[in-house]
Amino acid sequence: MADDTKGFIRKAAQSLVEARYAVALTGAGISTESGISDFRGPSGLWTRHPEADRAAYLYYETFLKNPKSYWTETLSSARGPGLGNLWEAQPNPGHLALAELEKMSLLKCVITQNIDALHEKAGSQRVLAYHGNFMKLRCISCGARYWREEFDLEQLQQEDKLPPRCRRCRGILKSDTVSFGEPIPGDVAAQSLAEAQVCDLMLICGTSAVVYPFASLPAVARERTGVVIIEVNAEPTPLTRDGISDYLIQGKTGEILPAILAEVRRLQTH
């Protein structure tokens, strides 16, 4: 590891120990070491399959026009190349390091763009899933969420009873995963904004920071003086270039985050 990387790791650990209210923001990059493709990294899904980008934008349109077709498509493999096996994926050392920092009361929450539920699997307790959780369904009328396994979707398909309906208000259910073009659910958007407005440290991990409104959260934190914003990413992002982050620790989240945790532990025992 380069000397300047080691220096930034020490600096980040010191800031975490001193922070009053630290939060983490994460993106697809933190899960690539768990075998889940990101979109825009060098081996990302859209880098390899540009047509998947366009298809993703049509998906929500299909839902609005015809929820039954959306569900039929979702239950078949007609959606084209996917992110990998989300059900089988396991958290990697990056997810585990964030969960441990929360357990040590040094991190208040993780706000993630990821839909893969790996922060929860790693043991993080306060996870705001900004773009939803693939294991859940959400009512588009009242916002109620259900575990996917509470519904036998294949059975509903066989009985020609798709789309599934909300048990509270009979509204139509879609996957909790927020599609391109779909508004961010109000509850998680408001909670995430409140975290960005209150934090004094933001640790941003594995995101290209180009998907809005998520990518505006660091700028919200930047508005206040004294807030420390650290990026851990494989490459520079608009946050790096526009000076929204104080510095970038360039490398893999699965290596840098455990190194920050180790340094935090060292500081706490000295």
Which parts of this chain interact with ligand NAD (CB under 6 A)?
27-29, 31-33, 36, 38-41, 44, 83, 113-116, 131, 206-208, 211, 233-235, 237, 252-254
Given the complex with ligand NAD, which of 33 and 200 has the nearer CB atom? 33
Taking phi over 0 as left and psi of -120 to 50 as alpha, with beta for the rest, 80 belongs to left
Q: What whole-number distance in Å separates Cα of residue 23 and Cα of residue 127?
A: 10
Least distance from ligand NAD to the Cβ atom of residue 206, Å: 4
Shortest Cβ 232–ligand NAD spacing (Å): 6
Q: How far is the CB of 171 from ligand NAD (least distance, A)?
A: 23
Length of the chain: 270
Q: Please identify which of the residues 49, 95, 119, 131 carries the catalytic annotation.
A: 131
| C-beta of 31 vs 162, nearer to ligand NAD | 31
- Tokens 């990821």, residue? 114
Residue in 121, 168, 163, 161 with CA at minimum distance from that of residue 141? 168
270 tagged catalytic: no
Q: How far is the CB of 234 from ligand NAD (least distance, A)?
A: 4
CA distance 245 to 222: 8
**Does residue 209 contact residue 218 with C-beta atoms inside 8 Å?**
yes
User: Tokens 């920092």 label which residue?
Assistant: 101
- DSSP E strands: which ranges in 148-266? 173-175, 201-205, 228-233, 247-250
The residue (of 102 and 116) whose beta carbon lies closer to ligand NAD is 116
Q: Which residue carries 């909670």 as its tokens?
A: 191
Minimum CB separation of residue 41 from ligand NAD in Å reads: 3
Which residue type, as a one-letter code, is found at position 164? Answer: P
List Cβ neighbours of 14 (8 Å cut-off, separation of 6 or more).
267
User: Which residue in the shown chain puts its C-beta closest to ligand NAD?
Assistant: 29
202: amino acid identity, one letter: M
| Bridge pairing between strands 173-175 and 228-233 | unpaired
Q: Which is nearer to ligand NAD, 52 or 166 (CB)?
A: 52
- Closest CB to ligand NAD among residues 52, 227: 52
> Which residue is it, tokens 């959780």?
133
Minimum CB distance to ligand NAD, residue 8 (Å)? 14
**Half-sphere exposure of 187 toward its Cβ, with a 13 Å CA cutoff?**
12
Q: Judged by CB, which is closer to ligand NAD: 15, or 177?
A: 177
Catalytic residues: 131
